[in-house]
């Protein structure tokens, strides 16, 4: 799972990337014009895996991970420059869109003053322009090959024209209903405005809760215009990149003390990671034992046999049964053997739909 951090220049993308990854890429008061895209792997924070590790004391603990990309910012109205950025971020499963909401006169703002909602819309429009360019080019190419005598695929043209119409009326594609066949046609196009998105208002650390709520509410209103169910595709949060970066440099003890002073139980970055995970409809199941306690990522709705395949293809092929217990149930009892004795370890077949937090032991035979 890969997430691209994007937004206008100087919104704090690299600051947030550093906080997420523990890296130390240079940030600056000026707009970055040149940089190589940076990719880094981040562990998904999950208190459940910590508790399981505490119980099983395994040799190894393996959480799930997510990849983040940091690259140049987008420029209002510069389709060519933005295309360079889009060409790289279009591979991502989702976008983390950072919107500057902090005041600092020393940090140049490409559009002048601090106006988070204007900036939010500006970037959404750049996604739309970028996609419109892609659709138009694709339709031209189809037309050219038609002239050369190649029979065009009517289905593709139909769905591309629907995209074009939506984009021309400034509607992001993520809010257009496509059936499964249409989605399959569109997937290789990797449209930006079709990607799920987390909006991150990067605020001053001392911004009041009311002011943060106001920004979030305004952004909700903006997305609600497109769909009352916009939350299926867009999540909106706020954090302070600068504060998160400082937090990420502390030892766990210092972090705890600092956060409890603020009356918060975990860094806002954890929320960002979790929200993105949920947005992409990913869930985790666990395997446990003395050797390893491990979290595995699957798409919501995956059945037990497919989930086994995440671990090893032999397990999928030779799948017999899954022994399953939910995380909460397990914690109440505290041991697998007593659950087994009480008959609380469920035996599930290959079609069982795995739930978030399931602890699973697969039985298989090869």
Ligand X SMILES: Nc1nc2c(ncn2[C@@H]2O[C@H](COP(=O)(O)OP(=O)(O)OP(=O)(O)O)[C@@H](O)[C@H]2O)c(=O)[nH]1
Which residues neighbour 351 within 8 Å (Cβ) at sequence distance 6 or greater? 303, 304, 305
- Listed ranges 27-35, 78-86, 113-121, 153-161: which one lies at the site for ligand X (CB under 6 A): 27-35
Query: Considering beta carbons, is residue 37 or 301 the nearer one to ligand X?
Result: 37
Is residue 297 within the footprint of ligand X (CB under 6 A)? Answer: no
Partner from ligand X, Mg ion, none binding residue 240, C-beta < 5-8 Å depending on class: ligand X
Contact 45, 20 (CB under 8 A): no
- Listed ranges 3-11, 113-121, 193-201, 325-333: which one lies at the site for ligand X (CB under 6 A): 3-11
Which residues neighbour 248 within 8 Å (Cβ) at sequence distance 6 or greater? 18, 19, 20, 22, 267, 269
Q: Using the rule CB under 6 A, which residue among 24, 78, 87, 104 binds ligand X?
A: 104
Query: Considering beta carbons, is residue 110 or 278 the nearer one to ligand X?
Result: 110
- CA pair distance 100, 111, nearest whole angstrom: 11
- Listed ranges 14-22, 222-230, 259-267, 351-359: which one lies at the site for Mg ion (CB under 5 A): 14-22
Helix 209-224 with 116-147: angle, nearest 10 deg: 30
Is residue 107 within the footprint of ligand X (CB under 6 A)? Answer: yes
Contact 259, 248 (CB under 8 A): no
Contact 9, 31 (CB under 8 A): yes
Partner from Mg ion, ligand X, none binding residue 298, C-beta < 5-8 Å depending on class: none
Query: Considering beta carbons, is residue 61 or 107 the nearer one to Mg ion?
Result: 107
Contact mark string toward Mg ion, 17..46, x via CB under 5 A: ---------------x--------------
Q: Using the rule CB under 6 A, which residue among 15, 193, 238, 287 binds ligand X?
A: 15
The SS3 assignment for 139 reads helix
Helices (DSSP H) in the chain: which residue ranges? 13-21, 47-56, 79-89, 116-147, 154-168, 180-186, 209-224, 241-248, 252-262, 268-279, 304-311, 313-317, 327-333, 336-341
Residue 91: both structure tokens together: 């591979």
Tell me how far, at minimum, the Cβ of 67 lies from ligand X, in Å. 18
Please list every residue from 76 through 95 that binds ligand X, using CB under 6 A: none
Please list every residue from 181 through 240 that binds ligand X, using CB under 6 A: 202, 204, 240
Query: Considering beta carbons, is residue 10 or 287 the nearer one to Mg ion?
Result: 10
CA 223 to chain centre: 18
CA angle 43, 56, 277 (to 5 degrees): 25
Query: Considering beta carbons, is residue 7 or 172 the nearer one to Mg ion?
Result: 7
Tell me how far, at minimum, the Cβ of 17 lies from ligand X, in Å. 7
How big is the site for Mg ion, counted in residues (CB under 5 A)? 3
Is residue 302 within the footprint of ligand X (CB under 6 A)? Answer: no
Q: Using the rule CB under 6 A, which residue among 4, 6, 10, 276 binds ligand X?
A: 10
Laid out side by side, the sheet with 94-101 consists of 38-43, 65-70, 2-6, 94-101, 197-203, 234-239
Is residue 122 within the footprint of ligand X (CB under 6 A)? Answer: no
Tell me how far, at minimum, the Cβ of 241 lies from ligand X, in Å. 3
Contact 302, 68 (CB under 8 A): no
Is residue 14 within the footprint of Mg ion (CB under 5 A)? Answer: yes
Backbone torsions φ then ψ of 241, nearest 5 degrees? -55, -40
Q: Using the rule CB under 6 A, which residue among 97, 174, 242, 294 binds ligand X?
A: 242
Tell me how far, at minimum, the Cβ of 251 lies from Mg ion, in Å. 27
Interacting residues toward Mg ion by CB under 5 A: 13-14, 32
**Residues lying near ligand X in the complex (CB under 6 A):** 9-15, 27-29, 31-32, 73, 102, 104, 107, 202, 204, 240-242
């Amino acid at each position: 799972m890969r997430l691209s951090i994007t937004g206008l220049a100087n919104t704090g993308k690299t600051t947030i990337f550093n906080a997420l990854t523990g890296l130390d890429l240079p940030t600056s008061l000026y707009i970055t014009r040149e940089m190589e895209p940076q990719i880094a792997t981040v562990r998904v924070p999950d208190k459940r895996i910590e508790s399981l590790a505490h119980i099983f004391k395994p040799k190894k603990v393996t959480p799930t991970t997510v990849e983040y990309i940091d690259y140049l910012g987008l420029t209002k109205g510069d389709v060519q420059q933005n295309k360079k950025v889009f060409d790289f971020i279009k591979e991502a499963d989702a976008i983390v869109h950072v919107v500057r909401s902090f005041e600092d006169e020393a940090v140049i703002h490409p559009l002048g003053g601090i106006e988070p909602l204007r900036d939010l819309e500006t970037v959404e429009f750049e996604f739309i322009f970028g996609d419109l360019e892609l659709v138009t080019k694709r339709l031209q190419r189809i037309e050219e090959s038609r002239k050369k005598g190649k029979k065009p695929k009517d289905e593709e043209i139909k769905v591309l024209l629907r995209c074009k119409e939506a984009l021309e009326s400034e509607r992001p594609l993520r809010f257009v209903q496509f059936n499964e066949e249409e989605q399959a046609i569109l997937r290789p196009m990797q449209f930006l405005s079709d990607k799920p998105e987390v909006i991150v208002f990067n605020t001053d650390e001392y911004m009041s809760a009311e002011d943060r709520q106001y920004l979030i509410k305004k952004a909700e209103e903006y997305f609600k215009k497109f769909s009352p169910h916009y939350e299926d595709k867009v999540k909106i949060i706020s954090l302070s990149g600068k504060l998160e970066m400082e937090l990420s440099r502390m030892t766990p003890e210092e972090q705890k003390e600092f956060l409890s002073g603020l009356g918060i139980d975990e860094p806002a970055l954890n929320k960002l990671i979790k929200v993105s995970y949920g947005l992409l409809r990913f869930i985790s199941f666990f395997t446990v034992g003395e050797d390893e306690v491990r979290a595995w990522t699957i798409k919501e709705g995956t059945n037990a046999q497919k989930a086994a395949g995440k671990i090893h293809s032999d397990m999928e092929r030779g799948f017999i049964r899954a022994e399953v217990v939910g995380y909460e149930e397990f914690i109440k009892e505290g041991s697998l053997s007593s659950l087994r004795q009480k008959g609380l370890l469920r035996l599930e077949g290959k079609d069982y739909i795995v739930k978030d937090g399931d602890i699973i032991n697969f039985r298989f035979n090869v």
